[in-house]
Amino acid sequence: MNILLSAYACEPFKGSEPAVGWNWAQELSKQGHKVYVVTRKNNESNINKYYKNKPKKIKFIYYDLPNLFIKLFSNKGKSNPLSFLYFFFWQIGIYFVIKPYIKKIKFDYIHHVTFVSLRYPSFLCYLNVPFLLGPVAGGDKVPIKLRKKFFLKNKFFEYLRDLINYLIKFSPLHTNMYRNSKKIFYNSNETKELIPKKFYYKSKKMLAISIDENEISKKPQEIKKTINICYVGRLEQLKGIDILIDTFYLIKSKNKNVNFNIVGTGTHDLQIKKKINNLKLGKDIKWKKYMPRIKLLRFYKQNNFLIFPSLRDSGGMVLLEAMSKGTVVAGLNIGGPNEIINKYTGVKINTKNYSYNDIIKKLSNEILLLINNKKRYKQISKNCLNRVYEFSMKKKINYIYKKYY
């Protein structure tokens, strides 16, 4: 079949949303479909690097808005709230880019894949080709109690996000997109609530993130004398980085044989360094700002636990990557992590009606219990390896293929 993917984020060698777009295109191609991907031109360099000595079976259509938009809405790769305005206008632009292709190629489906945010409607649903939406996300919320420690700017953006999520329920652009979609995939029950009930009959829960089955280890991990606990991700308040460091501290105060590893950087770097020094954890934490994904997969195998205390996350790709290596995961019952972690595969802390201090105590205590129970730890590590197959891209594509393609 001829399938066109709309994948604003689509790159090899990366995780998160670029991996979502890339993995989706690759798996469809493996299954024999003729795949076309409309994506940003700034993804072209890495895509060409990947195909340097390989045949390119996928047709990439590159598009960027005029330079004026890039100057207005981008910030040289740094986080910028206005970047999503660029994405909104980019989606309008690709409608006109793709329209001529419709006359030349008989597409069986157009599928919007990334960005996964539901707040920004796709306009490709108006091209009179069967349209698939998602999996989309964006309904997840930071619990009100846990916003108290946020900087004023971060609080403002969280409440602004809540307001936008409320308003899109009444947006005619969204209503038309849902109406013109053959199927809508959403990541969580919170995101489902943003979709009008009259479209529930063609909606299904499914995470956007996935794992390559070839990356899944065969052997579970075991508890040894020295315990390694890691975090991989941006260092931001939104990622629960304060919860992470305070949990490290409580664990270390009760077990001296624990070491901590952090991979990532962000706007919270200086505050975290200060907190680490104040808690006298400097000697116990190894910190690398960046690690290539190939090394990262080996890195997970060197750690017994991954703590991912994100306060709002639609996916949680690092959870799947860690679980694929038998690393036991710990997180909160919010968004994607709530869909991935269960009591058989790790530690999931319920945030409802719990304070910040309650959460770090529960998180540290549950991890310490597993450290002290080698048999249970090994079983949970085995469960992680089995569970992660449920999130394989191959399985996901097969399911959608049989149902809708």
* pLDDT per residue as tens digits for the range 296-319: 999 999 999 999 999 998 888 999
Q: What is the pLDDT of residue 77?
A: 45
Q: What is the mean pLDDT of residues 312-339?
A: 92
Domains: count for the chain: 2
CATH of the domain at 355: 3.40.50.2000
Q: Which tokens hold the place of 248?
A: 């490290």
Q: Residues 100, 116: one domain? A: yes
Q: Is the pLDDT of residue 159 over 60?
A: yes
> 87-140, pLDDT tens digit by residue?
999 999 999 999 999 999 999 999 999 999 999 999 999 999 999 998 999 999
Q: Which tokens hold the place of 369?
A: 């219990």
Q: What is the pLDDT of residue 360?
A: 95
Q: What is the pLDDT of residue 83?
A: 75
Q: What is the mean pLDDT of residues 381-390?
A: 95
Residue whose entry in the numeric block shows the structure tokens 């794992």: 211
Q: Is the pLDDT of residue 81 over 80?
A: no
CA 119/CA 194 separation, integer angstroms: 9
Q: Residues 139, 274: one domain? A: no
Q: Residues 218, 200: one domain? A: no
Q: Is the pLDDT of residue 238 over 80?
A: yes
Q: Residues 127, 235: one domain? A: no
Q: What is the pLDDT of residue 395?
A: 85
Q: Residues 204, 228: one domain? A: no
Q: What is the pLDDT of residue 38?
A: 98
Q: Is the pLDDT of residue 274 over 70?
A: yes
The pTM of this model reads 0.88
Phi, psi of 212 (to 5 degrees): -80, 125
Residue whose entry in the numeric block shows the structure tokens 């009444």: 170
Residue 198 structural domain: 2-212+391-403
> Who has greater pLDDT, 148 or 15?
148
Q: What is the mean pLDDT of residues 52-76?
A: 82
Q: What is the pLDDT of residue 234?
A: 92
Q: Residues 179, 41: one domain? A: yes
Q: What is the pLDDT of residue 287?
A: 93
Report whether 249 contacts 361 (CB < 8 A).
no
What is the bridge-based pairing of β-strands 131-136 and 59-62? unpaired
Kindly indicate the confidence band of residue 400, based on its pLDDT and cuts at 50, 70 and 90: confident
Q: Residues 171, 202: one domain? A: yes
Q: Residues 223, 190: one domain? A: no
Closest C-alpha to 231, from 334, 305, 313, 320:
305
A 10 A CB-CB count for 144 gives 10
Q: Residues 113, 144: one domain? A: yes
Q: Is the pLDDT of residue 76 over 80?
A: no
Kindly indicate the confidence band of residue 405, based on its pLDDT and cuts at 50, 70 and 90: low
Q: What percent of the chain has pLDDT over 70?
A: 97
Q: Is the pLDDT of residue 156 over 90?
A: yes
Q: What is the pLDDT of residue 354?
A: 87
Q: Residues 218, 262: one domain? A: yes
Q: What is the pLDDT of residue 404?
A: 57
Strands of the sheet with 34-39, listed across from one edge: 59-62, 34-39, 2-7, 109-114, 131-136, 181-186, 203-205
Mean pLDDT over all residues of the chain? 91
Q: Which tokens hold the place of 373?
A: 């129970």
Q: What is the pLDDT of residue 401?
A: 64
User: Lowest-confidence range among 33-47, 76-90, 189-203, 206-220?
Assistant: 76-90
Q: What is the pLDDT of residue 53?
A: 85
Q: What is the pLDDT of residue 84?
A: 80
Q: Residues 76, 158: one domain? A: yes
5, 108, 353, 403 from 36: Cα distances, Å: 6, 11, 47, 21
Residue 98's SS3 state is helix
Q: Residues 146, 247: one domain? A: no
Q: Is the pLDDT of residue 332 over 60?
A: yes
